[in-house]
Amino acid sequence: MNKIIRISLILFLILFTGNHSFSQTSSVKHYGYAAAGKLKIYYCDQGHGPVVFFLHAGFLDMHQWDREATPLIKDHRVITIDLPGHGQSTGIDTVIKIAEVINHVMNYLQVGRASFVGMSLGAACVVDFAIAHPEKTVKLVLCSPGLSGWQDVMRLDTLSKQLFMRSDTYGDTHDPQLISENFVHLWLDGPFRKTATADSAARNYVFKTAFEKVSNNKGSGPVFDKKKAAKRIRLIQKPTLILYGNLDIPFIVQESQYIHKNIKGSQLQVINGTAHLFNFEKPDVFEKYLRSWLK
């Protein structure tokens, strides 16, 4: 009897271990580098299902999207990358356009089509890609969007101009501490309040990631098409959701409204009580919009 029990326990442990391991395969994170021109783009690939690419805001990195990736990988394949000049991506290439950088990553990872989520600088990159490769684009989520060539279609309001000039002043100091503190205040807190409601972990992440980028001088960022996107935004005919925080700088609100007006059928949503980096302050609200849009 004891022998039978021992054998049964062994079989149970084997079966349990095997099933447990299988159930966790979708959460395994695969990291690596994909070559694009003279760049090596660092990526994380996890989950199974329809593909969603996430592109982070300027001065941050792929880890901006860690919270969003966790629930999505249950039924999506989630790919996050460090944009050129950010995170662990390496190399300098002032020729290859960001749309082709993304395309190289997709080809390397054998992705034919994908939906894209981008914030700020990342959203500007998504727009360029969607214009260049509509055949590879499924849906778009543009968060606090930047836009290449905005100068050709809109004027900078007085407050936003003052805020950008202040950032330039901090930049001229070449002091990573001052530059990063200003970055956190401008983009996480916003110009209309002293402190964001984001938790300390999010605040520390934004500061430390910006500090690392400034300190290490990681080189040039994404290169945009010389045929600026602002005048070609109407070419995008994919389902597009645009999100911005009501406490963001006025310029981002203006850009969001311009994009909404010029992408036929797009939807525009305001996330109240947040500024630019709203996924850190209202993650549940953002995830609800995201999940609904990607269905």
CATH code (residue 151):
3.40.50.1820
Q: Assess if residue 78 is contained within a domain.
A: yes
d(CA 117, CA 135): 17
The reported pTM is 0.90
User: Which residue has better confidence, 4 or 192?
Assistant: 192
Q: Assess if residue 114 is contained within a domain.
A: yes
Domains contained in the chain, number:
1
**DSSP classification of residue 194:** S
**% of the chain surpassing 90 pLDDT:** 88
> Domain range holding 153?
30-294
Q: Assess if residue 16 is contained within a domain.
A: no
- As beta bridge partners, residue 119 has 143
CB 270 within 8 A of CB 245: yes
Q: Assess if residue 17 is contained within a domain.
A: no
The answer, yes or no, to whether residue 8 has pLDDT greater than 80, is no
Coil, strand or helix at 29: coil
Q: Assess if residue 3 is contained within a domain.
A: no
Q: Assess if residue 198 is contained within a domain.
A: yes
Q: Assess if residue 9 is contained within a domain.
A: no
Please enumerate in sequence order all residues whose Cβ is within 8 A of that of 254, keeping only pairs 6 or more positions apart, or say none: 154, 157
CB 90 within 8 A of CB 39: yes
Write the pLDDT tens digit of every residue in 236-255. 999 999 999 999 999 999 99
d(CA 248, CA 223): 25
Residue 25 pLDDT class (50, 70, 90 cuts): very low
Six-digit token string for 110: 């054998």
Write the pLDDT tens digit of every residue in 50-88. 999 999 999 999 999 999 999 999 999 999 999 999 999
Six-digit token string for 99: 């749309």
The answer, yes or no, to whether residue 150 has pLDDT greater than 80, is yes
d(CA 225, CA 98): 8
Rounded average pLDDT over 207-221? 90
Q: Assess if residue 12 is contained within a domain.
A: no
